[in-house]
Structure 1
C-alpha cells in the first residue's frame, strides 16, 4: 500500500496530540485503551487507525472539521485504488478500446467558497460514499436535502472536490437540473464524454444506455444539483462502477431506492459565527463579538442568510456590524435587507413556494399565525379549515417545514416564517384562520386543564394525555394568550377568563411559575379592559400562586389583597376563601407562622360553610405545617389525620400524597424515622405516578432524612442525590441547600 496518505494521517494525529500537550500514555487513557503502543504505530503511519478510534481522537482532541476522518478516507481510497489496479490491469486498456477518450478533461465543478464552515459530519458521509466507490461498491448515490438556503450546493461541490482528491479523478460533472428534462441533460453529458452530435440518440432510454456504457470504468463524480423529482434523476444514474453521484434537492426524493441521505439543518452557533467572521475578517468581527452573535441570530444561522449578511458588510467596510444588526432587528423588513447583489433569501424561498400546490401554499402562508415554536397536525388543520395531513407532507417534502424534536410535531425556520407572513397579507381569510386557531387552542387547553383539577373532567387518554398535550402546547398557549391581549375586539376575553380558573392546575404541577405569572398578568389586563371584576379576581389569584412558587411572598400578599377586593365585589365567595387561605402560605414563607396558622384555620372554616370539601381538606393540610413550625406537634398530627381522611373520602390521590408527604416531614422532625419512611414511600409512589415534579423532589428529600435517621446512609445518599436534581429543576432553593448539606453529611459518615 502507498504510504503517502497513511503518513499524512499519522502526521496529523501526532500534530494534534502534541498541540494539546498530551503524551501517548495520557491520550491512550482518555481513549479508554489499555496500552499506547498501537497509537505510536498509527502516528508513524505504519498502520491505518480504525474508524471508531479516529472518531474518538477527534472528540478528545476537539477536532471539529473532520480532518482526520477525511484523511482516513483518503488512505482507504488509495488502498482501494491500488488493489483495483492490481486486480484489473486491463480495465483502462479495455475502456480505451471501446470508447475514444474525451479530447478535453471533464472538470465542470464550480469553485466552492473558500470560507466553507462546519458540516464535518455531513462531509464525512459523502466522503465515505466516495471511498466505497473506490473500494468496488459503486456507484453510490447520496441525496443532500434541506430547506432553501441551507447550503446544499455548497456542500455538494465541496464534497465532490474532496472526492476528486481521494481518487475519483477521471471526470467531474456538474449539472444544474432545475426544470431541465432528462433527454437534454443526457445529450449534454454525452457531448462532454466525446460523443459527436450525429451519434447522439434521440430516445431517452437509448441515451441513458449510451451514458452508462460510456461511464464504464471511469472514476467519476456526478453532481446533479437542484433536482425536481425522482424521475428526473433516475435516467441519469450510471451503471456499475466507481462513480459517486451527489444529488441536491429541496425535496426529499424518497422514491430513490438505495440512496444514502444527508439532511442539512442550520449551522451551529459557532460555525455560523465563524462563517461571518471569515467573510468580514477576524479583526473586524473580534471587535464586535456581541453584534456578530446578533446578526447570526437574526439570520437564523441559515448559511445563505449569513453569507449575504457577511457580503453586505464586506461591501460596506465603513459599516459597523452593530449597524447591520440594528437593521435586521426590524422583522418586517429583514428579508429585504438580506439581499446582496443577485443573492436574496426571499428569492430562494420563492422558488420552493412556487412549486407547491395551492392547498399546501395556503397552509404555508397561514402557518405564520402559529404562536408557538412548533405545531401539530391539529393546529394546522384549524388554520387550514380542513384536514391538513396531506398539505403538511407536501411542505415537509419541499423542506419548507421540518420535523420538531417532539414526535408528531413540525417547525418552521424563523426566516421562512417571516416569508410566510409577507404572503399572508394577501390571504383574504387570514382573520378567519386566526380565529379558528385561537378557538382551538383555548378549547383544547381548557379541556386538558380541567382533567387535572381535584374533580377531574373526562379527557381522551386520561390525565397523562392531558398533561402531555399541555406540555407540547405550552408555548402555543402562551402565544395565544399574548395574541388575545394584543387584540382589541374582546372576542376571546371570556375564553381567557375561563382558562385562568383551570390552567393553574397544570402550571402548579409543572412548576411553570414564569408562564403562570405572564398568563395571569395578560388576563388581568384583559379583564381591566372589559371591566370584568370576576375575571380580574381569578387573574390576581393565579398571579399570587405564581409569585408564591417563585418565593416572592410580599408580592403574593399584595396580589391576594387585590384579588380579595375584586372577589368580594363580584360575589365570589369560594375564590374569596381561597385567596384568604393563600395569604396564609405567603405569611408562612415570611416566617409569620401564627398569622399563617390563623389564615389556614379561617380558610378551612370558610370552606366548610361553603360546602367546599376539597378546599377544606387543602386548608387543613396546610395548617398542619404551620402548627409543626409552632411546635404544636400533636395538633399538627391531628390535622394530618383529618386531611388524610378527607382526601381519601374524596378520592383525591394527589391530595392524599401531599398529606402523606407532610406526615413524613413531621415524623422526621420528631425522630420517628420508621413511620416517616413508610409515609414518604407512599407519597412518592403517587407523586411519581402523577408525574408531579415538585412532590417527587421534596418527598425524596424526606425519604433521605428517614433513611439517614435509620442508619441506612448509602440509600439516604442516593435519595438525596435524586432530591437535589429535582429541587434544582423546580427552583426549591432552600430545600436544595438543606439536601446538599445532608448529602455531604451522609457521605462523610460512610467514608
Structure 2
C-alpha cells in the first residue's frame, strides 16, 4: 500500500492507482477510508480536468456504499456515461479571423478523405487569440465528432505550472472516454491503447497551450474520423502533416471593430482619430484591445483620447494593459521566464540575453551581425538565439536574416533590459553596435568612392570588424536594407555623449550612398544632426563636412540659395583647415550653384581657374568635371562650343572608365542638342547615358533623373506622346520611391505638358498644381511660367 500511496503523490491523475488503493482499503475492512479516497479522486479530477471517475470506479463506489447492507435485490446497472463535451463556451468575439477560420475548416473537412487524422496547429505570440480561434473552430465543427469533444490544457506556457506529462495526458483522454489504462503499462503501450480506443470513434481533441511536439504527438489518433486542434506559442513544425495557422496581430479595421464591439460603436465613432491611435498603440493584439476596451467601457467618464494618451506615455503602456486576470505583461513574462528557468540550457540563456538586447538599442529591425555585436558573441550563436526567440513568438523574422518584435514585446524587452542589465553593460553593448555600424558604412563608402582624398576624408578610421563588401551592388543593397536603422541610430544617439562620435563617422560615410540613391530627405536630416554634433564637439573638420553635404542635399532638392550659403560657410572653414584639394571642390560647387542661379559672370572665372589648376596638377577627373561646368555656362552664348567642351569631358570619362563622368557628359550633350532643336541627336545621348547606368547597375541619382527627364522632353518634341507618358510615369515612381519631391515636381510639370498636348486639360491642370506644390519653395528657374500655366487653365 505504501508503494501505491507514493505513486499517487507523483501521479495524482492516474485513476488506476486510486483504484488499487481503494480496493486494498476495502479488502482490509477500512471502508470509511476507502470512501474518503474516492472522494479525493473525484475532487481532483473535477478540479484539474473537469471530468469525473470512470464507470468502473463509480461501480466500485456503489459497492462501498452497499457494504454491510442486506442483499435484497440486484443493483440496477449504472447509467451509461455521457459522451464528453468538454469544450469551454464558444467565444462571442472573433473578429478579423475569417481567413484563418476558413483554413481550419478546410483542413478538418478535406482531410476526411485521407487515412490520417487532420491536425491543425495554431501558433502565435501570447495574447494574439489562439485559444479563441481554436474554440470557435471546435464549436463550429463539433457536430462532425459525435463521440466527444475533448479539451485539455497542456500548460506549455502557464505561469507557475509545469507542462503536463504526455502519459498523464493520455490517461486523462482515456478516462474522459470512460475507460482505464491497463495496469503497469509502458508509455508505448499507453499510446497504443489510446489509439485503439479512438480507432472506432469520431472525437475532436483540442489541445491548448502545447509546449512541444513531443507533448502532443502521443495524443494523435490514427483515425481519419478524429481531428486535433493544437494551440502553441511555437510553430511545432515537427508534427508531421499538420496544417499550420500562424496568427498575426489584427489589422487596423478589425482592431477598431473589436473596440466597437466592447465599448460601443457610438463611443468609438465620436473620436475616430483617437480610436485609430488607440488601436495602433495596442499593436493589434486582441488581448491588449480587450483590456483597453473593457477599461474604457467600465469608466464612462473616460474618453477614447484620454485612454490613448495614457497608453502613449513613455514606459507606461504595459501598466495600462492590465485588468483583473488579463495582463499583457504577464502573458509576455511567462514566455520570457521559460527562457530563464532554472535548469535551462545555454541556448535558452542566450535567447534571454538576446531578448534584453532588443531593449537596449531601440531599432526598427535587427540583423544577426548586429545582434552578435550587442551580445558580444559569434554570429552563429546570435542566429540560434534569435531563431529561438522566433520559435517562442517573442520575435518575427520579417525577411531573411532580419528580425523585429511586436511593439508591446519591444516595451517588455526595454523593461527587462533596465531590470537585469547594468548601465555599464548597456553602454558597452550600444558602443559595440554603433562602432560596427560606422565600420560597415565606412566599408560601403570605400566601395562606392574611388581611391583619393574624398574617400580618405570620409572614412579616416579603421573598419576592422566589419563584414567585407564585395562590390558596389552589395554596398548599395546593404545600405538599402539598413537605412531605416541607420537613421534611427543617428536620431537616437546624435546628442548622446556615447553616440555622437559614431554619428560623426556615420554621416559623411553615408553620403555616397544617399547621393547615389537620391535620398535627399535622409541626407538633409542626418547632416543636420551631424552639424549639431560637430558644433557641440567643436570639431571644425566635421562641421565643414556636414555643411558640404547639407549643401548637396539642398542642391538636390532645388534649394539653390540655401546650398550656396552652406557651401560658402564650408569653404571658409576648409580654408582655415588648409586642405587645398577640398577647398577647390567647394569652390567648384559654389561656381555650379552660381551658374544655376543665373550668375554666370561670377561663375565663369571660378571654373576657368579650377580647370587650369586641375590640368597643372594632372587631375584628370577634376578636369572632366570643370570642362562640363564650363560647357553648361557656354550654352547660353554658344551651344556648339558647349557641346565640344562636353565631348572633351566625355573622352576623359571614357579614358578613366568612369561611368558617372560619361553619364554626366551624355546628359549635358543631350540637353545641348535639345536646345538646338535636334531631338534625334539628343535622344541618342540620353539613351547612351541610360545604357551606361544599366551596365553599372547603379549611378548618381541626380544624373539619372535629369537624363530620364531629358528623354521625356525629347519624346514630346518627336510627338511620341505615348512613350513620353510612360517614361514620365517611370520617373515619377522612381522619385516617389526615394521621397525626392524635387524630381517628382519636375516630372509632374512634364506630365502636365503631355496631357495639355493630348487635349486633357483637367489632367494637365492637376499635374501642374502638383508640380507647383513640390517646387514652390525651390529656386528653380521658370516657376513663373508654371504659375502662368496654372492660372491660364483654371476653369
Q: Give TM class, smaller chain.
A: 0.7 to 0.9
Contact 2:494–2:503 (CA under 8 A) maintained in structure 1? no
Q: Where does structure 1 lack aligned partners over 5 or more consecutive residues?
A: 1-99
Mapped to 1, the partners of 2:375 and 2:445 lie a distance apart of 26
Tell me how many residue pairs correspond in the alignment.
644
In structure 1, how many angstroms separate the alpha carbons of the residues matched to 2:610 and 2:252? 53
Alpha-carbon distance in structure 2 between the residues aligned to 1:619 and 1:682: 21
- From 431, 451, 457, the counterpart of 2:447: 451
Q: How does 1:96-107 map to 2 (within 5 A)?
A: 103-107=81-85
Q: How does 1:513-532 map to 2 (within 5 A)?
A: 513-532=520-539
Q: Please show how residues 508-657 of structure 1 align to structure 2 within 5 Å.
A: 508-587=515-594, 590=597, 592=599, 594-595=601-602, 600-601=607-608, 604=611, 612-628=619-635, 630-657=636-663
Q: Deviations over 1:685-732 (max 9, x none)?
A: 122333345544432333344455456665445434433433444431
TM-score norm. by structure 1 comes to 0.80
Q: Which runs of 5+ in 2 are unaligned?
A: 1-77, 156-162, 340-347, 456-466, 761-795
After superposition, give the CA deviation of every residue in 1:522-554 in whole Å (9 maximum; x if it has no partner). Answer: 111111111111110101111121122222233
Per-residue CA shift, 1:636-687, capped at 9, x if unaligned?
2132122212322332112211211221222122222332222122210122
The question of 1:702 aligning with 2:710 is answered: yes
SS at match of 2:448: coil
SS in 1 for 2:689: helix
Structure-2 separation of matches of 1:101 and 1:293:
57
Pairing 1:376–2:367 present: yes
Structure 1 segment 8-157 matched on structure 2, within 5 A: 103-135=81-113, 138-157=116-135
Partner Cα distance (1:238, 1:512) in 2: 58
Match of 1:437 among 407, 415, 433: 433
| Distance (whole Å) between structure 2 residues aligned to residue 227 and residue 259 of structure 1 | 14
For 2:192 and 2:287, locate their aligned partners in 1 and report how far apart those are by CA, in whole Å.
38
Change in Cα spacing, 1:610 to 1:278, as seen in structure 2 (3 Å) is farther
Residues 421-469 of structure 1, C-alpha deviation per residue, up to 9 Å, x if partnerless? 1111222422221111111111001111221124498953211000011
Question: Are the equivalent residues in 2 in contact too, given 1:697–1:724 (CA < 8 A)?
Answer: no
- 1:283 is displaced (CA, Å) by 0.5
- 1:337-356 counterparts in 2 under 5 A? 337-356=320-339
State how far apart, in whole Å, the 2-side matches of 1:314 and 1:597 are.
73
Q: Distance in 2 between matches of 1:307 and 1:427?
A: 32
For residues 271-312 of structure 1, give each alpha carbon's deviation from its aligned partner in whole angstroms, at most 9, with x where no partner exists.
112112212110100111111111122122222222221122
Aligned counterparts of 1:550 and 1:101: Cα–Cα separation in 2:
86
Separation in structure 1 between the aligned mates of residue 757 and residue 697 of structure 2, nearest angstrom: 29
Match of 2:644, SS? Answer: helix
SS at 1:331 equivalent: coil
Over the aligned positions, Cα root-mean-square deviation in angstroms equals 2.8
Partner residue in 2 for 1:402: 396
1:475 maps to which of 461, 481, 484: 484
Corresponding residue of 2:496: 487
Contact residue 374 and residue 411 of structure 1 kept, 8 A: yes
SS at structure 2 position matched to 1:658: helix
Say whether the 8 Å CA contact 1:187–1:200 is kept in structure 2. Answer: no
For the residue of structure 2 that corresponds to 1:469, the secondary structure is: helix
2:508 match: secondary structure: coil
> Once the two structures are superposed, what CA deviation does each residue of 1:315-358 show, in whole Å capped at 9, x if it has no partner?
22211111111111123121122111111111111111122211
Q: Which has the larger radius of gyration?
A: 2
**Paired residues of 2:673 and 2:682 also in contact (CA < 8 A):** yes
Q: Deviations over 1:583-639 (max 9, x none)?
A: 3454455455555555555554565567654344334324433433x2431232132
Instruction: Report if aligned partners of 2:121, 2:243 keep a CA contact under 8 Å in 1.
Output: yes
Verify the 8 A CA contact 1:597 1:626 in the aligned structure 2.
yes
Please say if 1:497 is aligned against 2:494: no
Report the alpha carbon displacement of residue 201 of structure 1 after superposing the two structures with TM. Answer: 6.9
Distance, in Å, in 1 between the alignment partners of 2:354 and 2:441 is 23
Following superposition, the deviation at residue 110 of structure 1 comes to: 2.1
**2:405 maps to 1:421:** no
Q: Tell me, in whole angstroms, the C-alpha distance in 1 between the residues paired with 2:107 and 2:442.
A: 52
Which residue in the other structure is 1:94 paired with? none
Q: 1:302 to 1:627 in 2, by over 3 A?
A: farther
Q: How far, CA to CA, are the matches of 1:152 and 1:708 in structure 2?
A: 59
Structure 2 distance, partners of 1:175, 1:202, is: 22
Match of 1:681 in 2: 687
Instruction: Give the direction of change, closer, same or farther, for the CA distance of 1:367–1:125 in structure 2 (3 Å limit).
Output: same
Rounded to whole Å, the distance in 2 between the matches of 1:340 and 1:325 is: 16
Q: Per-residue deviation at 1:365? A: 0.6
Report the CA distance shift for 1:328/1:713 in structure 2 as closer, same or farther (over 3 A). closer
Asked whether the equivalents of residues 517 and 543 of structure 1 are also in contact (C-alpha less than 8 Å), the reply is yes
Q: Is the 8 A contact 2:171 2:181 kept in 1?
A: no
Secondary structure, counterpart of 1:451 in structure 2: helix
The equivalent position to 2:308 in structure 1, one of 321, 325, 344, is 325
Matches within 5 A, 1:181-200: 181-195=165-179, 197=180
The answer to whether the 8 A contact 1:454-1:614 is kept is no
Q: Deviations over 1:209-265 (max 9, x none)?
A: 232223234333211111111110100101122222111111121211211111112
Q: Which moved more, 1:440-449 or 1:391-400?
A: 391-400
- 8 Å contact from structure 1 (residues 163, 221) kept in 2: no
Which of 684-693 and 507-516 deviates more?
Answer: 684-693
Q: Structure 1 stretch 669-678 or stretch 263-272: which is displaced more? A: 669-678
TM-score normalised by L of structure 2:
0.76
- For the pair 1:176 / 2:137, whether they are aligned, the reply is no
Contact 2:147/2:201, CA 8 A, preserved across alignment: yes
- C-alpha change, 1:102 and 1:390, in structure 2 (3 Å) is farther
Q: Deviations over 1:461-487 (max 9, x none)?
A: 211000011111112212222333232
Which residue in the other structure is 1:666 paired with? 672
The corresponding residue for 2:37 is none
SS in 2 for 1:332: coil
8 A contact 2:624–2:652 mirrored in 1: yes
Taking structure 1 as reference, are residues 369 and 137 closer, same or farther at Cα in structure 2, changes over 3 Å only?
same
The DSSP-based 3-state class of the residue aligned with 2:246 is strand
Q: Secondary structure at the match of 1:224?
A: strand
Q: Secondary structure at the match of 1:508?
A: helix
Given the superposition, is the C-alpha separation of residues 216 and 599 from structure 1 closer, same or farther in structure 2, using an over 3 Å criterion?
farther
Partner of 2:296: 313
Summarize the Cα distance change of 1:574–1:269 in structure 2 as closer, same or farther, 3 Å threshold. farther
In structure 2, C-alpha distance between the alignment counterparts of 1:528 and 1:608, rounded to whole Å: 36
| C-alpha contact 2:166 2:218 (8 A) present in aligned 1 | yes
Distance 2:595 2:270 in 1: 51
User: How far apart in 1 are the matches of 2:617 and 2:704?
Assistant: 32
